[in-house]
Amino acid sequence: MIHDLNDDWATKNRLITTRLGEKNYDKVSKTEAMNAMVIAFQRLGVTVVNSDKNVGLIVGQAPAPSPLTKADMNIVISAEDANAKKFVPIMVWNFKDFESDYSVSFLETSNGVQVNVAGKLRFVGDRSAIVPVNQFPPKALEIGLAKIYDEFEKILFIQNRTLK
């Protein structure tokens, strides 16, 4: 049951990541973009746990459901609860033993940089007490990506860059 829900969310999240996870920024260098993402993560309460400027990778973590707020989670539950309960009739929306993990890759292009954000949940609690999911509810991923890119683009704007 929980594995079927996780698989359903994984399928939906691949589509969301394809649609919303990748953006191109003209006239922005990889270094500028990476610096802006570090600041965006800080402002959203996401801790950078690994980065490599040569490869173009930043990995961030936060206690789930961060960067989503309680109000955001109410939206997620409203959107996802009925579908989740098809798979897990006694679904409990509790993220207290989960971490939000985000990886961001930066690829230099001929015009600037391509940024790709992906995210998953990581269970850090007692596995003997629960069978966890490792996928965000799709609406949570959608909201999380929007929040990350919104903050990232604010930083780029502050750095006097034109967004495309």
In the block, residue with structure tokens 């955001």: 72
pLDDT-based confidence at residue 75 (cuts at 50, 70, 90): very high
In the block, residue with structure tokens 């798979």: 87
Average pLDDT over residues 106-123: 96
Dist CA 140 CA 65 (whole Å): 8
pTM more than 0.95: no
CATH assignment of 2-158? 3.30.530.50
Dist CA 105 CA 113 (whole Å): 10
Tell me the domain boundaries of the chain. Answer: 2-158
Total number of residues shown for the chain: 164
Q: Is the pLDDT of residue 161 over 70?
A: no
Contact status, residue 142 vs residue 20, Cβ threshold 8 Å: yes
